[in-house]
């Protein structure tokens, strides 16, 4: 298939592009490099021996998106990763987040529709469930109150996509709700890059392991969990990338009618913050000093996915374990730091 990948040089996008190229799909990337760099394109080439067609610019630039269609002819599908994702930033700058994540997506959808590119995969998030009454959360679990504009931008975009499908049933839409992506490609050439203090657990741990931070602050040790720390469904980014390949199957299947589908992408297992720290220390033979501190406002105690639907309908399930996630996160960060010295 010929596939437009927005945000294709970002963390999850670049891993998905690698999987797509290795499956011989033709890839066109649109990325404004707000949170990525051209160097990732070279790294994708190093892994796959292929260089996707790349456009630098904003997905909200209607003329640019139209030019992509004019220059590339029929595009079969769009995988839409482009977006801003930092929760705290979204609390400080809600308009910027809604503008980038929603307004720009509306422009993108308009141009896609005009060019008959109506197979669409959207990067959503488990945060749309809010603080669900029961875990694991399934796709049937009602969406909840989001605690920040970032999460609302995902929840609203899902609704927009649903309304679009209802208005025009030639759209074929797959919403993928990611749980907690971590890890890096086995080559350790691509992974999650943070310029400043990372808000998420795994990149923070890797910075402590590499001596860039003195210690990890564990937010909350009095949750009703097995060791008092928060529990999340961490999923290896390569498994997540492969989830997108599985989702493409929806568009390939002969006689499958267009639909609006939602799938959880997680492992189905929850691990506590302390379990992550201990596993990280063991597999990487490093020490992670930590301090137990107050809960982070608006954090939920436990989140993990029911993954039956995605397995039954798409045949996808995760294959990499917590050891793989901790090892690849660390080795990527270590090798990346050395490569940019
Ligand atoms: P990322 O920041 O690494 O990648 C996003 C890419 O999109 C970046 O390369 C950025 O430069 C680009 N981009 C942003 N706005 C753009 C715009 N207007 N036009 C063109 N390019 C633009 O993020 P990621 O972790 O790879 O996440 C990918 C998607 O998955 C995002 O939509 C994110 O919200 C979603 N998601 C991420 C996580 C996570 O924990 N990483 C969890 C759930 C959902
Ligand atoms: N967490 C932590 N210290 C950190 C970052 C995160 O203790 O520096 C905890 C956080 O409270 C939560 C878990 O790690 O229980 C996962 O947090 P993350 O921000 O990675 O994902 P999210 O909370 O968005 O699912």
Q: What is the pLDDT of residue 197?
A: 81
| Catalytic residue list contains 150 | yes
Nearest CA to ligand 1 atom 30: 123
- 84/196 Cα distance (integer angstroms): 15
Q: How many CB atoms lie within 10 A of CB 39?
A: 14
- 75/28 Cα distance (integer angstroms): 9
Ligand 1 centroid to Cα of residue 55, in Å, is 16
- 154/122 Cα distance (integer angstroms): 9
Model pLDDT for residues 210-235, shown as the tens digit of each residue: 999 999 999 999 999 999 999 999 99
CA nearest neighbour of 136 among 294, 324, 309, 4: 309
Section 229-252 average pLDDT:
97
Model pLDDT for residues 43-76, shown as the tens digit of each residue: 999 999 999 999 999 999 999 999 999 999 999 9
Q: What is the pLDDT of residue 297?
A: 92
- Residue 144 near ligand 2, beta carbon < 6 Å: no
- pLDDT tier at 194, thresholds 50, 70, 90: confident
User: Is pLDDT at 138 greater than 90 in this prediction?
Assistant: yes
- pLDDT tier at 254, thresholds 50, 70, 90: low
Q: What is the pLDDT of residue 255?
A: 60
Which of 88-102, 120-134, 194-208, 277-291 comes out lowest in average pLDDT? 194-208
Task: Locate the ligand 2 atom nearest the alpha carbon of residue 126 and give its number.
Answer: 25
Nearest CA to ligand 1 atom 6: 7
Using CB distances shorter than 6 Å, the residues near ligand 1 are 6-7, 9-13, 30-36, 58-60, 81-85, 100, 104, 123, 125, 178, 181
User: Is pLDDT at 278 greater than 70 in this prediction?
Assistant: yes
Average pLDDT, the chain: 96
Element counts in the chain: helices (H) and strands (E): 12, 13
Residue 308 near residue 266, CB atoms below 8 Å:
no
Ligand in closest contact with the CA of 179: 1
Q: What is the pLDDT of residue 205?
A: 97
Q: How many CB atoms lie within 10 A of CB 123?
A: 26
Catalytic residue among 98, 150, 204, 263: 150
More confidently predicted of 114 and 255: 114
Nearest CA to ligand 1 atom 41: 181
Beta bridge partners of 182: 236
User: Is pLDDT at 253 greater than 70 in this prediction?
Assistant: no
Q: How many CB atoms lie within 10 A of CB 172?
A: 19
Q: What is the DSSP letter of 101?
A: I
Residue 9 near residue 36, CB atoms below 8 Å:
yes
Task: Locate the ligand 2 atom nearest the alpha carbon of residue 301 and give its number.
Answer: 15
């Amino acid at each position: 298939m010929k596939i437009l990948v927005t945000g294709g040089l970002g963390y999850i996008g670049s891993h998905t592009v690698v999987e797509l190229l290795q499956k011989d799909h033709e890839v066109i990337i649109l990325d404004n490099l707000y949170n990525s760099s051209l160097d990732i394109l070279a790294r994708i080439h190093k892994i796959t021996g292929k260089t996707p067609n790349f456009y630098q610019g904003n997905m909200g630039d209607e003329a640019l998106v139209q030019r992509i269609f004019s220059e590339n002819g029929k595009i079969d599908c769009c995988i839409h990763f482009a977006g801003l994702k930092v929760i705290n930033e979204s609390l400080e700058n809600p308009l910027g987040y809604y503008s980038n994540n929603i307004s720009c997506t509306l422009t993108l959808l308009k141009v896609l529709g005009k060019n008959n590119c109506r197979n669409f995969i959207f990067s959503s998030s488990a945060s749309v469930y809010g603080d669900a009454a029961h875990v694991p959360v399934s796709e049937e679990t009602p969406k909840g109150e989001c605690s920040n504009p970032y999460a609302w931008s995902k929840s609203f975009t899902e609704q927009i996509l649903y309304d679009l499908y209802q208005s025009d049933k030639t759209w074929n839409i797959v919403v993928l709700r990611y749980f907690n992506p971590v890890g890096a490609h086995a080559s350790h050439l691509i992974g999650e890059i943070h310029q400043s203090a990372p808000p998420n657990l795994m990149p923070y741990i890797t910075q402590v392991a590499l001596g860039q931070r003195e210690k990890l602050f564990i937010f909350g040790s009095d949750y009703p969990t097995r060791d008092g720390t928060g529990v999340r469904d961490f999923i290896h980014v390569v498994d997540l990338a492969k989830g997108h390949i599985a989702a493409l199957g929806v568009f390939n299947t002969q006689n499958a009618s267009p639909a609006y589908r939602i799938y959880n992408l997680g492992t189905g297992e929850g691990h506590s913050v302390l379990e992550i720290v201990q596993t990280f220390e063991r597999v990487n033979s490093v020490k992670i000093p930590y301090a137990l501190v107050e809960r982070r406002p608006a954090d939920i105690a436990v989140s993990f996915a029911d993954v039956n639907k995605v397995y039954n309908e798409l045949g996808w399930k995760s294959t990499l374990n917590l050891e793989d996630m901790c090892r690849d996160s660390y080795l990527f960060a270590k090798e990346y730091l050395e490569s940019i010295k």
